[in-house]
Structure 1
Amino acid sequence: MTISKLRWLCSLLLLFYISSCQVTKPYEAPTTKVEGLYRDVVPTDTTTLAQLPWRTLFTDPQLQSLIAEGIANNLDLQVAAARVQQADAYFRQSQAAFLPTLSATGNVTRAKQAAFNGLGSFPAGTQYQLFGIASWEADLWGKLRSSKKAYLAQLRQSEAYQRTVQTSLVANVANYYYLLLALDQQLDITQQTVQNRIQDVKTMQALKTAGIVTGAAVVQSEANRYAAEVSIPDLKQQIRETENTLSTLLGRVPGAIPRSTLQSQEVVSTLQTGVPAQLLRYRPDVQQAEYAYRSAFELTNAARAYFYPALTLTGNGGYSTFQPENLISPTAVFYALGGGLVQPILNRGANKARLRVSEAQQTEARLNLQTSLLTAGEEVSNALYSYQAAGDKAAVRTQQLDALEKSVTYSQALLKNGFANYTEVLTAQQSLLQAQLNGINDRQQQLQAVTTLYRALGGGWQ
């Protein structure tokens, strides 16, 4: 090749490269509104609960063991891992598109020309061939490069989805665990209440014998005992169903769940949310939405490249002979090199449609990203207020329980001395039981609010 031809070729390739830079656009992250995502919260500290590893937040050894088992065996998490493997395979396939394709062929052909073909008569012959074919498409307009970036974004998107599944799994295991502890304590209180009311029946019978109360009071005390006892089967059913649900999350068959007690759980006293912009860094579903946008952006670049000609270089070479013993010899060598530009003409309408679809998908992905941020802000705000509401109720509930315990004690004393009827005792006892059960719900709500906030901020995958 002469120097002038080499310069001409280099100039042509440089021109193509400059043109390709104008066809595809460099990626720019979409503008997202993150200010004011947290209602009634003005965060100034960049420390966030999401930075904590889940073993640091959840200190109960039994709960830690269950979460670790769930991460190891949960089927949804395994499906997410399989999706990562699929996306990785597609990305590697996109990398291979930059390499030339190469195939090898060997054949034997037996042929005889017609006797009256105007060319004379030729004897039958057998041709032996062994050759290879290579083809390579030059990425002049960035189509392959943009496709590779799109597949890389899809790989990162699948990895973010895997983290999303894990954050939800950690939160769900913790929340069902706390529900189990709450149901256990409600069952204990209800069973203790039944024992107390059995004793009340005996007391009413003694008071009736003494002429202090009537038979109606005895019957009411028996009904009061059964009213508490009838809720025990429902509580046991809820416990069993919750154990079964938790077993499914752990990837095991339904069975008993080892656990501690609700009283032993420590409630986090300080909830640090960080600034809303950190949701882009820690919350995996927001990352997933951003990678989906990036993939759509790069596919739009690739769609633009379809309007420009494709440069393909092809070559083939090998051995061809009519004598098999001479197949692998210098005299049997043949080769051919070629190249061509293919400019789309009749399929321009299809290319326009492809570009419109890609642009619409890019718009959809941008809107989905903004939606994911709004959803994150909603979940963080709800979890914060739920925690605050549970704390406020707990403070008032303590005073309510103290007052109701005194009410039961006073009304029972008045009844024994003939200054009250059993209806007053019954009302006080029922109110006390309901307040005790609600107090358990308050503590469960506090624990679950911390877990929900942890997940809403993006914690749980570290």
Structure 2
Amino acid sequence: MKRNIIYIVFASISLFLNACKTPEIVGKTENKNLPSSFGNVTSNSAIERVNWKDYFQDSFLNSLIDTALKNNQELNITRQEIEIAKNEVMARKGEYMPFVRYGGSAGLDKVPRYTNIGAMEANTEMKPGREMPDPLPDFGGGLYANWELDIWHKLRNARKAAMSRYLATTEARNFMITNLIAEIANSYYELLALDNQLVIVKQNIEIQSNALGIVNIQKEGSRVTELAVKKFEAEVFKTRSLQFDIQQNIIETENRLNFLVGRFPSPIPRNSSDFNTMVPQYMSTGLPSQLLANRPDIRQAELNLEAAKIDVQVARANFYPSLGISAALGLKAFNPIYLINPKSLLTSLSSDLVGPLINKNAITATYFNANASQIQSVYNYERTILNAYLEIVNQQAKITNLAQSYELKSKQVEALTASIGISNDLFKNARADYMEVLLTQRDALESRFELVETKKQQMNARVNIYRALGGGWN
């Protein structure tokens, strides 16, 4: 007999240890190593932390950004997501605290006579000479509590994971603010560029109309044919149609800005006359390692990775037994008048230790999924860092190349603008044909358009380097 008991004890211990055994998994550690510099550009200074109000010194642009930070619908949706994540932290915190509930009950019980309980009640007296009521009323009320002791820190770790995700949502909001400011600034500079292109088109229409007048006079003098007149007319019509295309683009860009600031269509105040003289000022890029602290999307990915690591610990704890305590304190009687009697007091206290033993497929799958999600979060974190680094390298190269391109395009515009007058004089003196005049005007128009486009790209690069370095949300 004693030997059998020992066998049973050893078998129980073996089953318990086997039940607590967790499957083998292969995790992944994130790589935080970054190059020492951005491409060929070396810097020993820190990344500038500049507020957007100081970085963008256009009062009209700053007014748009300020309005958008209050009214943008997508940003307000993200704020509510933060509240949801915050409430999730509260819920997880409550899970490892005791649950206490109150309740009351009333009922009526009719037990069959020819059963063990019916037979006992038929021969039981509540008091001498007073039989059990049939059917038997039942009234009660009290407090009920249950508490799962978090011996493996499963519930506390779940709260930590929820907290990390809550912090990640706040970083997502910061990243959205950065992108929102950049999108508004880029759209604003695009609007200024369109305004300047519209001015150029109107000026070119006037030049072409004057040339058309000259051609008409020369046709009357039989110096040119009807073909030249029609060519010049076609060029004027083409430029006028271009004017309406630009006007449509202006309307759409204005409404894109109105959407971003969360309002219905209204005029966008701006000063377009100084666009060509704007000189972009750029931030110091600092060291690549500083991106880990400055970029909200990197911090968001890092917090999500931290939450995924904790999820693996929570999933592992499901293989271990859980210890719960239940208690009740109340009153119970067949008649409400007896509820004030101390003999109606009901108390209970119990505990249970429960763990998985056979068929652990569900918790094993959860454990494997948590590990896969953790590996996925590592890749996402590394991808976010790589993307941030490449964005800065690209914008640095763009800033340098655009500065050289703008200088050369400025000289091209000067040369082609001067050639318009020269071609007109030559045409008047019959030393150049009308096609040379048309091509010169067309080339001059295109070069001025390209110059404005290059200036817009310069201003966009200024915005994008600010965003790439993590500015805007602070």
TM-score by length of 1: 0.88
Counterpart of 2:361 in structure 1 is 349
After superposition, the C-alpha distances for 1:257-304 in whole angstroms (9 at most, x for unaligned) are 222216257433343112112222221111111111111000001111
Is contact 1:114-1:121 (8 Å) kept?
no
3-state SS, counterpart of residue 263 of structure 2: coil
Question: What amino acid is the match of 1:45?
Answer: S
Counterpart of 2:3 in structure 1 is none
Distance (whole Å) between structure 1 residues aligned to residue 419 and residue 278 of structure 2: 31
Quick check: 1:417 aligned with 2:429?
Answer: yes
Give the 3 Å change call, closer, same or farther, for CA 145–347 of structure 1 in structure 2: farther
Out of 121, 126, 136, which is 2:123 matched to? 121
3-state SS, counterpart of residue 341 of structure 1: strand
Of 388-397 and 249-258, the range deviating more from structure 2: 249-258
Structure 2: gaps of 5 or more residues: 1-19, 21-27, 125-131
Counterpart of 1:65 in structure 2 is 63
Is contact 1:408-1:429 (8 Å) kept?
yes
Distance (whole Å) between structure 1 residues aligned to residue 29 and residue 182 of structure 2: 30
Question: What amino acid is the match of 2:32?
Answer: T
Distance (whole Å) between structure 1 residues aligned to residue 427 and residue 107 of structure 2: 115
Counterpart of 2:90 in structure 1 is 92
Distance (whole Å) between structure 2 residues aligned to residue 301 and residue 100 of structure 1: 22
Question: What amino acid is the match of 2:384?
Answer: S
After superposition, the C-alpha distances for 1:439-460 in whole angstroms (9 at most, x for unaligned) are 1001100001111111122111
Is contact 2:283-2:466 (8 Å) kept?
no
Distance apart, 1:255 and its partner CA = 3.7
Quick check: 1:359 aligned with 2:357?
Answer: no
Counterpart of 2:75 in structure 1 is 77
Is contact 1:315-1:337 (8 Å) kept?
yes
Is contact 1:182-1:262 (8 Å) kept?
no
Counterpart of 1:130 in structure 2 is 141
Out of 199, 219, 234, which is 2:210 matched to? 199
Counterpart of 2:17 in structure 1 is none
Quick check: 1:41 aligned with 2:23?
Answer: no
Distance (whole Å) between structure 2 residues aligned to residue 277 and residue 258 of structure 1: 40
After superposition, the C-alpha distances for 1:372-431 in whole angstroms (9 at most, x for unaligned) are 111112222222222222211111012111211222222222222232222222222111
Question: What amino acid is the match of 1:87?
Answer: A
Give the 3 Å change call, closer, same or farther, for CA 387–375 of structure 1 in structure 2: same
Distance (whole Å) between structure 2 residues aligned to residue 214 and residue 449 of structure 1: 49
Question: What amino acid is the match of 2:41?
Answer: V
Question: What amino acid is the match of 1:121?
Answer: N
Give matches, 1:382-421, under 5 Å. 382-421=394-433
Question: What amino acid is the match of 1:457?
Answer: L
Distance apart, 1:328 and its partner CA = 2.9
Question: What amino acid is the match of 2:344?
Answer: A
Of 285-294 and 316-325, the range deviating more from structure 2: 316-325
Question: What amino acid is the match of 1:259?
Answer: R
Give matches, 1:33-432, under 5 Å. 33-35=33-35, 38-48=38-48, 51-116=49-114, 117=116, 118-119=119-120, 120-122=122-124, 123-124=132-133, 125-209=136-220, 212-261=223-272, 263-264=274-275, 266-432=278-444
Structure 1: gaps of 5 or more residues: 1-19, 21-27
> What is the RMSD of the two structures over their aligned residues, measured on CA atoms?
2.3
3-state SS, counterpart of residue 100 of structure 2: strand
Is contact 1:153-1:295 (8 Å) kept?
yes
Counterpart of 2:25 in structure 1 is none
Distance (whole Å) between structure 1 residues aligned to residue 140 and residue 233 of structure 2: 102
Counterpart of 1:3 in structure 2 is none
Quick check: 1:454 aligned with 2:466?
Answer: yes
Of 438-447 and 94-103, the range deviating more from structure 2: 94-103
Question: What amino acid is the match of 1:107?
Answer: S
Distance (whole Å) between structure 2 residues aligned to residue 419 and residue 343 of structure 1: 101
3-state SS, counterpart of residue 141 of structure 1: coil
Distance (whole Å) between structure 2 residues aligned to residue 443 and residue 298 of structure 1: 49
TM-score by length of 2: 0.86
Is contact 1:320-1:334 (8 Å) kept?
yes
Distance apart, 1:112 and its partner CA = 4.7
Distance (whole Å) between structure 2 residues aligned to residue 107 and residue 406 of structure 1: 98
3-state SS, counterpart of residue 208 of structure 2: helix
Distance (whole Å) between structure 1 residues aligned to residue 109 and residue 192 of structure 2: 86
Question: What amino acid is the match of 1:422?
Answer: Y
Give the 3 Å change call, closer, same or farther, for CA 441–113 of structure 1 in structure 2: closer
How many residues align structurally?
436
Give the 3 Å change call, closer, same or farther, for CA 260–328 of structure 1 in structure 2: farther
Distance (whole Å) between structure 2 residues aligned to residue 355 and residue 344 of structure 1: 14
Give the 3 Å change call, closer, same or farther, for CA 293–139 of structure 1 in structure 2: same
Question: What amino acid is the match of 1:35?
Answer: P
Distance apart, 1:194 and its partner CA = 0.3
3-state SS, counterpart of residue 327 of structure 1: helix
Distance apart, 1:209 and its partner CA = 4.5
3-state SS, counterpart of residue 230 of structure 1: helix
Is contact 1:130-1:318 (8 Å) kept?
yes
Distance apart, 1:103 and its partner CA = 1.5
Counterpart of 1:444 in structure 2 is 456
3-state SS, counterpart of residue 57 of structure 2: coil
Distance (whole Å) between structure 1 residues aligned to residue 29 and residue 65 of structure 2: 35
Question: What amino acid is the match of 2:106?
Answer: V
Distance (whole Å) between structure 1 residues aligned to residue 138 and residue 420 of structure 2: 109
3-state SS, counterpart of residue 231 of structure 1: helix
Distance (whole Å) between structure 1 residues aligned to residue 169 and residue 29 of structure 2: 19
Distance apart, 1:227 and its partner CA = 2.7
Distance (whole Å) between structure 1 residues aligned to residue 246 and residue 469 of structure 2: 33
Is contact 2:29-2:378 (8 Å) kept?
no
Give the 3 Å change call, closer, same or farther, for CA 348–215 of structure 1 in structure 2: closer
Is contact 1:33-1:370 (8 Å) kept?
no
Is contact 2:282-2:465 (8 Å) kept?
no
